Amino acid sequence: MIMIENGISVKYEPFKEIIIMERTRFPTPDKLARFVSIIAGGKLAGLYWVDGVVFLYFPLPASNQIIAKELVEEKKLYWSFIGYSPMPKYSPTIETKEKLIVPVIDISTDQVLQAVAKWLKEQE
């Protein structure tokens, strides 16, 4: 914890657990990108890339009182869905055969998402 001169403290407390309720492995990044473009309804949506896995997740909103309590007190995060595909080399975009271009963000420095990527690789 760092104490700043005006009395504000900054503290890092990562999540202790991520609970994934549904997962779908797509055979290729292209098929995942197609899925993303469909569910986004033509709006720009992106994917995350970490350690050879590209994915998209949907967290459950913390508006539910039980989920909010788990989030704050237990450091548990609930994801309703994660779609993923192996992608050994990072690329800033994925182009589908329909010529849709989906951006990909390299977020491999995030420790929480590194744990998720490792778990996803073990699911194969």
Domain ranges of the chain: 18-122
**Residues in CB range of 77: below 8 A, 6 or more apart:** 15, 17, 18, 19, 59, 71
- For the cut 70, the answer to whether the pLDDT of residue 113 exceeds it is yes
Kindly state the DSSP code that residue 33 receives in the 8-state scheme. Answer: H
What does the pLDDT read at residue 3?
A: 65
Q: How confident is the model at residue 39 (pLDDT cuts 50, 70, 90)?
A: confident
Q: What is the DSSP string of 54-80?
A: EEEEEEPPTTSHHHHHIIIII-EEEEE
Handedness of CA 24, 92, 40, 118 (dihedral sign): positive
Mean pLDDT of 54-65: 86
